[in-house]
Each structure stands twice: as C-alpha cells, then as structure tokens.
Chain A
Amino acid sequence: MNGRDVWVERQQAGTVMPMLHLDAQLLLGLLLLCGIGCAILYSASGASDTLLTRQLIRLGIAFVVMLAIAQVPSDVLRRWSLPLYLLGVVLLALVLVLGDVGKGAQRWLDLGVVRFQPSEIMKLATPMMVARYIHEHRMPPTLRDVAVVAVIVLLPAALIIQQPDLGTALLVATAGAFALFMAGLSWRVILALLAAIAACVPLLWMNMHEYQRQRVLTFLNPEADPLGAGYHIIQSQIAIGSGGLFGQGWLQGSQAHLRFLPERSTDFIFAVFAEEFGLLGLLVLLALYLFVIFRGLRIALLAQNVYERLLAAALSLTFFVYVSVNAGMVSGLLPVVGVPLPLISYGGTSMVTLMAGFGMLMSIQTHKKMLL
C-alpha cells in the first residue's frame, strides 16, 4: 500500500509527466537502459561514431512513437485492435508473396519510403486482439473462447513461420498466450496445452529447417564444431567468463575489441557488456530490466479494465521474454535464436515496436477514468 501512496505523491508532485501522459518511473528505467545500451554499443562497434549516431536516431524515432502512442487513450487502442490485426495479417501474406529476401528469409516489405517487417506489427497487434476479444466476451475465457483465441494467435504465427522466422513466430505466439494466461485460462487447459506442445516437439523437429536443427544441436554440444556452428557460443561464453566479477573495463574487452566475438553489436552485445562490466555490471543491468518489467506488471495491476490489464501484462511479459531469451542464448542456456537484447542491441524495427508497446503501457497508466 505504501508504494501506492508514493505513486500518488509523484503524480501530484510532477506536472509535466501527467501532461505528456508519461509514466516517470517507467521512462526513467527505459532511459537508463538506453543510455547503457549506447555506451556498450559504442564499445562493441569499436568506438564507431556512425553506428552510435544511427542508433541514437532510431532511439529518437522510437521515443517519439512512444510519446505519440501514450497520448492515445486505451479505448481508442481497443477499437484499433481489430483493424491493426487484420492489416498485419494481410501484410504478412503480402510478404510471403512479394517480400524482399534478406539473409535467406523473406521478412521485409518495401513500402517505397520505408522497409519494415510486418511481423513486428503482430508483436503488438496479436496481444491487443486477444485482449480485446477477452474484454468483449468474458474473463475467465470458456473453452470456446480459448479456441477462438488460439486461431487469433496461431494464424500470424503460422504466417511468420513460413518466412521462415521461428524466433519472431514464437514471440508473437507467446505474447498472445500471455494475454490468454492472464485472462485466467484454467490450469487444466494450460497443462493440456503444455502436454500437447511436448507431444509436438518431434513433429516440430521434423519440420525444422536444417539451420534451425543445427542451432539446437550446437546448443547441446558447442565443442563439437568450435570453429563452425559452435564458434558463436564458445566465444560468447569466453567473453562472459573472462569478465569476472568487475569486468575488464569499458572499451577494454579483448574478446570484443579483437573481434573474436561475432555479432557483437547486435545479438551478442550482452556478452560485450558482461566482458567489460563483469558480474556486478550485469546485476545492475538485470535489476534495471526487472524494474521495467515489474513497473509494467504494476501498471497492469492498477489498470481499469480487462483490455488494459491483459494488454499491459502481455506487453510486460513479452519484454521479459526478450531479455531472458537473449541473455539465456548468449550465456549458453538456450540455443542460438535471433532475438536481440531489447533497448541495447543495435537494430531498427524492433526498437520502434518495443517503444510503441511502452507507449501503450504509459497510456494505460495515465488515462485513468475517475470512478467515484
């Protein structure tokens, strides 16, 4: 209860934040993470200004998007859910037909002005659609609702798998599944679903692409091919392990700066951070991530209707999945899947999507209807 009092005080103290529909604590957490991200990206890119400049521009765009979405009340967001979802599905279908091929997969859609991945839309549109459906029907959901939600979730996931982009498909499905779980999906159904997934693993294996299978095998035994498939994970663990308690210092990580570590600006930037700032730095970083996640869950707790609650919780948990999958992959707990470290890895579209999600959280937090 004390925390709530503090929040009330903060809301009263500041006048700028409520006016801009921003949540001060969430914003602080995001800015700190982005600041750390820029510092480590500067180091990971070999003290390159160009990479950092581009990332700063992206961050600027992303924060503008966040600010814009924060101004939109959740009722409007709820009404946009269906059109946005349908638009996303159509674009995904279009990508499969006429998308650009990048790195062996069709993910990009060229709209003349910008190139973007429609699958990014679905990271937001899927939980929005699920939340809207539950909101408009009932909570907890009936079995029939579960079936409808399953279609809502699996349709975009199936389209994304076709690109093929297993990682994003799983993230999109997970975001929808989180909304369903938070809606009160009965434990019996959850257990049944988990059992079904377990049963599907061999089937999934059969349908995997060769490079995907290779990643799983490499994860299980990276030493089998230290210079080939296992190289990433071995060098990444060396970077993390050699960081020790205090790290080698900013700009001093030899694994990163002598370029032994691959993908150091993007997917493996976590290892660069671990090498240069050590365990203590990592604990600070993880604490910041925890702070952002729990701030999001708290917004969900204080939200005013089912749609808001489900959407806020699903977005926060998706963010959590990003962090833990990337950290787990880089530290050798999970197979290598192409998931960036949110707010820190160098990269474009996913940054905007993330900040758009945080904009929704802020909107939910700051557009309260006074119920007296």
Chain B
Amino acid sequence: MGIRDHLDDPLAVRRLFFFRLLWAGAVVLLVFGGLTWRLVHLQVVQHDHFDTLSEDNRIRLRPIPPRRGLIYDRNGALLAENLPSYRLDLIPEEIDDLPATLAALGRLIALDEQDIARFEKARRQHRQFDPVPLRYQLTPEELARFAVEQAHLPGVEIAATLTRWYPYGPAAAHVIGYVGAIDTDDLKRLDKRDYAGTRHIGKAGVERWYEDLLHGAPGHEQQEVNVQGRALRTLAETPQTPGQDLYLSLDIDLQLAAAQALGERRGAVVAIEPGTGEVLALVSNPAYDNNLFIDGIDSKTYRALNADPGRPLFNRALFGQYPPGSTVKPFLGLADVDIGRPLGNSGVYCNGGFKLPSATRIYRDWKRTGHGRTDLTKAIEQSCDVYFYQLSLSLGVDRIHDYLTRFGFGHKTGIDLPGERAGLVPSKAWKRATRNESWYIGETLITSIGQGFNLATPLQLADATATLAARGVAAAPRVARAAISPLDGQYTALAPALEPPVTLREPRGWDIVHGAMHDVLFAPRGTARASAAGAAYQYAGKTGTAQVFGLGQDEEYDAETIAENLRDHALFIAFAPLESPTIALAVVVEHGGSGSGTAAPIARQVLDAYLDRPALGPEQPMQVSAR
C-alpha cells in the first residue's frame, strides 16, 4: 500500500529528488574545484620548489679529479709525471660467487692477504653496484693475463687512473718531495670541494709548497640516479681544470752531478744562481725514493727508513744546522773593510795562538806554528784564526751579528720549500733573552771563526755565498721559476724574491774578499789550492772545518755512530766564474774531516759539471718554453 501512496504524488517525489541532485552536483563541483585549486598550488605556485626537489632526487654530482701539474727542471727534463696505472675493481652485485672469483683472480694476478682484507673492508662501505678496488698498480703481464680471461669473470673491471711517478727518484726527492694519500690533517686545511675525487695531496717539498698550483680544479659529471643511487646516465659534464705545470730552476744534470760528487758521504750540496736566487741543485745525502710514498708506504719500509742511522728522510740542506766554521771569514772580512780596517794594512802577527789580556786561556790557531805577519787577504787565503780573533775584538759580537744577519744567517732564507730552519747567529741580546746570561768576550772570539753558538744550514751558506758573489745583490732562494697552464700555454713567471741589497760603505771590500777567496784556490799557499788544480775557469771559495763539540750540535745522532760523531764537519763555499759568477754553492760533509780535503773537491766536481757544459746556458731552455 505504501508504494501506491508514493506513486500518487510522483511530482513531489521527483521535485525532492531533483533538488537533492542539485545539491549533490554542487558538492561534486565544489570538491573538484578544491582539487583543482590544490593542483594549481602544487604545479604552478610551488612548481619551482618541487622541481628542485625532484632534481635533487635524481641528479648526483660525481667529481672528476683534476690532472696534477707536471714538474720540469730548468732544461725541460721531466721530474714528476703522471703515469697511467691500472686498478682492478670488483662489482659485488654482478658477481655470483665471490670466493670463486677471488680464487680465479688469484691465479691471474698477485693477490696477498692485505689486498683481500682491504677489499673486504671497502666492500662494506660501498653499495652493491659500485666498483670496489681490489688491486692497484697492475703490471703489464697481469693486465695481459686478465684480458684473456676477462670474458669469464663478470663483474671484474680494469680502471685506468693516473699515478704520480718521479723518474729520478732519490736524486731529486729532497726538492720534489712527494704526494701521498689525503689524511685527516690535510682534510682540516683544504677545501673539500676542491679535493672531491682527488686521492693524493702534496706532502713534502715542491709537491707540498706548490700544491695549489699543481692540483688544479675538479670537474663534475652530472649523473642521473635512481632511488637506490645507481647511476643511470650522464647528463652533463664540466671538465676538470688540470693543474699548472711547474718549471723549476733546478738543473737535474747538476743535481745528479752533485749527488754523485757527494757519493756515500752524509751531507748536503746547495747551488744557487747569484743575483736571482734560483736554486740550481739541492742535494741531501743519503736520500730516499719518493716513489715509495705515493700509494702509501708499507710500515716495514717506513720503519727501516726512520731507523736508518743516515737518516735519509732528513733534508740536511734545509733542516741540518751546522757550525759554519771558517766559512764565515769572508763575510767578516767585508765587515773588516767596511769599518775601516781597524788592524791597519799590516794586520796582525800570528804565532799560532791568541791570549786575551785579562785571561790565561790560549785560543789556538788551526796552524800551531802560526802564519806570521797576516793581513786580511792572507787571513782568508790561509784561514788564519788569530787575525779574526783580533778583528772580533774591534767588531764586537753585536756587529758580527749585524753583518752575518745581513747575509741571511740566523733567519730563514724564505725558500719556496717547506720546513727550513733558521740557524743561529748569537748576540748579547740573544744570550740574555734565551739564557739570561751575560756575554763573555771569549765567546766573541770563537763566534768570529764560526764556532760557538753559530749555526747555519747549507742553504743559508749557499744563499749568503750567492749574495757575496753578486756583490750584495740579494734574492731569496727559489726552486720554481714558472708555471705554465697546460690548457692554453699561459705562462706565469714566479718572480725571484729580490731582497734589499747588502751595501757597503767601502765597495772595495767586495774586490778584496773576492780576491782573497780566489787565492784560497789559486795562491801557492791557499788552503784549497789542491782542489783547483787544472780548473778551466777562475773561481773563488772558502774552506771551513767545524769542530763538533756539544754546543748547539745536531744532537739527534745515536750512540752507534759516536766515534764518527766526534770528527769535524767539512765545509766549503764557492762561486764561479770569478768575474760575473753564475753559480754559488755550499758543500757540507758531516764528519768529513777537513773542508779543504773533503768538501772542496766535491765543490770542484759540481762546478765542473756546471761550467764545462757551454751548450746548455742557464737561460736557454726557458726561452724555448716561454717562446
């Protein structure tokens, strides 16, 4: 009956339903309007924001390490290069049976437990689809053996990288230094973005000092990645900017000659071009093979190097501080002339010893019988100590300090290599400040013959000699001459660091001292005349024999060398040719005996090597490079 009731009024029902439909339609439109508003908000208003998030999701920047700059000597000989090196990578995801693959590889290439352990450790830090290094520096034979079997070893890859190589090894190690793996200390001081992807950084020598020039700037590869981080394709690439190639002032032939001249002796040779400060050779012996450090030196070899009594890692040229001995005499000779020759033209009478008026102690000359009547020239030529004892009383320690300091003693030379030592030139103020003691006049005497508190590095000796040779023109020693961009050949001269010249009130002093130093080698009684025999050029020099007694000594020698430890250091400084010198050098041979007997012949060999090669003038090759 209900049905009939409603059918009686179908119009009312239909009206009601129609209005409900209108309501429903309105709600549908309202909701779709709201949805549209939301979509406009997401896709138009916030589009840029979400687009960025989407790009962040899918794009990863993979750094491309820059090619490290090469290092050449002044004649264009390659001192540090990048050699292709082959690394074996495993991609765990693509390997079904890892132990079997490792066993198969073990039959093709040399794998030791250390390799496997390193691989297992690295594998945990990589994603399944990332290559994990197993072996570095594959030999050509291993490469060939692997190439034959590669098809049967899915998931094993060869990756080509560049590894530093120093063709001259130990001969230039103390100058070039080496690169090594970046450690936590390095991470603190460098910009991580610049070193993204770079494994090595300069640790010592030129490699460290010129790190910024040599390193270059990394490039970037934009990779599209999926949600697991797997790279799918490369979208764009910013190429790496290779580091600058570095041209050193070093002459590798001279360097080799100097190393050969030193032979097995412990010591250092530093040769500098007067006037420019360009370092032509810098040898410290014994040396080490810097190639050992590149891919991480193994601890056994490193311990052996550290325990070696010859201390091959110790750069004597820069860090070794020795009493300069009689090599200071030419510099004090200049002071003598400059203050008006207080001892007069006739000089002093040397009877083999010197006694202060107020004391009983006798300060001996190296020649017990004495030199007789001695003027400045003879005092340098024959290295008369008594003359300088007497002179030192007129100069006083503070003026000695003043003149030696002007030639670079007692402070760092400013060479472009890390770690040089300052040496020591004593003064009254210094003694008061460091020891709180007053100065004794006897200490002035031994200071004047380069003993006592005096300490100098071989580099300082060579630097001072170069200034002396150039008649006061001073420049901080420089190892690098120029940087050249491998991209566009852009040449950047690394200008010599000229310093204020040493000026004398009496310029005659240069002639007098140069002449006296020439006499050392060519006068009949010159101390080093034997070493100059047959020289094709004229040169000047001064011997030094430094007594080894406790004070300020290189105290780090250990007991087993005590006996040798007591022998004197042999020193020699020289420059050549006498007129317009092109090379100044210092030779120090530890416990080598006498300067004239040991050091002077070494200097002669080095000078011969440099000057008997007229074809290779010092400027010639650089002009080629610079055009």
Contacts and interface: CB of A to CB of B under 8 A. Distances in A.
A309 B35 CA distance: 27
Given A254-B224, A297-B24, A286 B43 contact: no
A254 B53 CA distance: 11
B32 A286 contact: yes
Contacts of A138: 2, 5-6
Given A184-B20, A294-B28, A317-B24, A241 B47 contact: yes
Q: Is the interface of A mostly helix, strand, loop or mixed?
A: helix
Contacts, number: 135
Contacts of B6: 138-139, 306
Contacts of B32: 286, 289-290, 324
Interface string B20-45: 11001100110110111011101110
A242 B35 contact: no
B58 A260 contact: yes
Contacts of A327: 35
A313 B36 contact: no
A139 B13 contact: yes
A293 interface: yes
A255 B13 CA distance: 51
A169 B21 CA distance: 24
A324 B31 contact: yes
B366 interface: no
A136 B4 CA distance: 10
Nearest to A182: B20
Contact of B25 (A239, A245, A254, A297): A297
A297 B24 CA distance: 9
B148 interface: no
Contact of A274 (B29, B43, B58): B43
Interface in B228-255: 228, 232
Contacts of A79: none
B2 to A, nearest CB: 5
B139 interface: no
Interface size class of B (residues with CB under 8 A): 35 or more
A124 interface: no
A301 B18 contact: yes
A160 B18 CA distance: 32
Given A286-B36, A301-B18, A238 B54 contact: yes
Contact of B54 (A239, A283, A301, A331): A239
B226 interface: yes
Interface string A10-39: 000000000000000000000000000000
B20 A241 contact: no
A244 B48 CA distance: 8
Interface string A234-276: 0101111111110000000011001110000000000000100
B25 A241 contact: no
A60 interface: no
A241 B53 CA distance: 9
B227 to A, nearest CB: 4
Interface size class of A (residues with CB under 8 A): 35 or more
Given A239-B54, A301-B21, A324-B31, A282 B227 contact: no
B50 A241 contact: yes
B110 interface: no
Most buried by B among A137, A241, A260, A289: A241
Interface in B50-77: 50-51, 53-54, 57-58
A184 B34 contact: no
A140 interface: yes
B54 A255 contact: yes
A320 interface: yes
Contact of B38 (A137, A293, A331): A331
Given A240-B50, A306-B13, A331-B35, A320 B18 contact: no
A175 interface: no
Contact of B232 (A178, A241, A258): A258
Given A239-B54, A324-B35, A331 B42 contact: yes
Most buried by A among B20, B38, B49: B20
A225 B240 CA distance: 38
Contact of A333 (B34, B50, B53, B57): B34
Contacts of B46: 241
Contacts of A137: 2
A83 interface: no
Nearest to B47: A244
B35 A279 contact: no
A331 B37 CA distance: 11
A300 interface: yes
A254 B57 contact: yes
A245 B43 contact: yes
A255 B57 contact: yes
A140 B6 CA distance: 9
Contact of B16 (A184, A255, A324): A184
A219 interface: no
Interface in A170-201: 178, 181-184
Interface string B114-149: 000000000000000000000000000000000000
Contacts of B16: 139-140, 184
A262 to B, nearest CB: 9
B557 interface: no
A106 B6 CA distance: 43
A278 interface: yes
Most buried by A among B2, B32, B228: B32
Nearest to B43: A279
Contacts of A239: 54
Nearest to A234: B53
Given A258-B57, A297-B24, A279 B40 contact: yes
Given A258-B226, A260-B227, A274 B21 contact: no
Contacts of B21: 182, 297, 300-301, 313
A270 to B, nearest CB: 10
B153 interface: no
Contacts of A274: 39, 42-43
Given A237-B42, A245-B44, A333-B38, A259 B20 contact: no
Contacts of A333: 34-35, 38
A347 B138 CA distance: 55
A320 B44 contact: no
A243 B43 contact: yes
Given A140-B16, A182-B24, A286-B32, A244 B57 contact: no
Contact of B42 (A241, A294, A313, A320): A241
Nearest to B16: A184
A238 B53 CA distance: 7
Nearest to B49: A241
Nearest to B57: A260
A258 B232 CA distance: 9
Most buried by B among A242, A279, A289: A242
Interface in A285-329: 286, 289-290, 293-294, 297, 300-301, 306, 309, 313, 317, 320, 324, 327-328
A252 to B, nearest CB: 12
Given A138-B6, A282-B39, A286-B35, 13 more contacts: A138-B5, A139-B13, A178-B24, A238-B50, A242-B47, A242-B54, A255-B57, A259-B227, A301-B17, A324-B31, A331-B35, A333-B34, A333-B38
7 nearest A-B pairs in the assembled complex, by CB-CB distance: A241-B50, A242-B54, A258-B226, A279-B43, A241-B42, A259-B227, A184-B16
Interface of B: 2-3, 5-6, 13, 16-18, 20-21, 24-25, 28-29, 31-32, 34-36, 38-40, 42-44, 46-47, 49-51, 53-54, 57-58, 224-228, 232
Interface of A: 135-140, 178, 181-184, 235, 237-245, 254-255, 258-260, 274, 278-279, 282-283, 286, 289-290, 293-294, 297, 300-301, 306, 309, 313, 317, 320, 324, 327-328, 331-333
18 contacts: A136-B2, A184-B16, A238-B57, A240-B50, A241-B47, A242-B50, A242-B54, A244-B47, A244-B51, A258-B225, A259-B228, A279-B44, A290-B28, A297-B28, A306-B6, A317-B28, A332-B38, A332-B42
